[in-house]
């Protein structure tokens, strides 16, 4: 991903990832309910996402289509987090996440399996 999506733009993308192709009007209705945005704010952010190449618009009814998969954005955001806060050390992020919560035996086994699969 050659660009950064801001939190407000991610709200738009999350709707498209959850619902699939949908109209700008529907996105605006959902975000008005969820966080109180007016229609103009939502449309401005959709246009910004279109400019960045994250969304494609087509007719009829100003339909919006996500051009980038959620996993690609998650990967880019995770890499940025690791780089910014943990000096690029994935193990430090992993240790920080694990130290914040008491894990069940089942969760620990799932994590072990993830590590084994990576080996």
Provide the 10 A C-beta neighbour count for residue 98: 13
Grade residue 102 by pLDDT with cuts at 50, 70 and 90. confident
CA distance 88 to 8: 26
pTM of the model: 0.80
pLDDT (0 to 100) of residue 118: 87
Grade residue 104 by pLDDT with cuts at 50, 70 and 90. confident
Which top CATH class is 7-70? mainly alpha
Checking if the pLDDT of 105 tops 90, the result is: no
Q: Alpha helices, DSSP H only, in 3-119?
A: 7-19, 24-35, 39-52, 70-86, 90-99, 105-118
pLDDT (0 to 100) of residue 100: 78
Q: Where in the chain is the domain with CATH 1.10.10.10?
A: 7-70
Q: If phi over 0 gives left and psi between -120 and 50 gives alpha, with beta otherwise, what is residue 20? A: left
The separation between the first and the last C-alpha atoms of the chain, rounded to the nearest angstrom, is 27
Determine contact, residues 42/27, Cβ cutoff 8 Å: yes
pLDDT (0 to 100) of residue 99: 84
Query: Which carries the bigger pLDDT value, residue 92 or residue 10?
Result: 10
Query: Residue for token digits 């339909």?
Result: 63
- The string of pLDDT tens digits covering residues 61-90 is 899 999 999 999 999 999 999 999 999 998
């Amino acid at each position: 991903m050659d660009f950064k999506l801001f939190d407000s733009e991610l709200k738009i993308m999350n709707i498209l990832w959850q619902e699939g192709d949908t109209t700008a009007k529907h996105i605006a209705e959902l975000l008005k309910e969820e966080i109180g945005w007016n229609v103009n704010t939502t449309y401005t952010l959709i246009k910004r996402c279109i400019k960045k190449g994250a969304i494609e618009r087509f007719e009829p009814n100003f339909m919006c289509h996500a051009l980038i998969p959620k996993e690609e954005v998650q990967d880019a955001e995770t890499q940025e987090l690791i780089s910014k806060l943990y000096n690029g050390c994935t193990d430090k992020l992993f240790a920080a996440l694990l130290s914040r919560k008491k894990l069940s035996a089942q969760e620990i086994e799932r994590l072990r399996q993830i590590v084994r699969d990576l080996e």
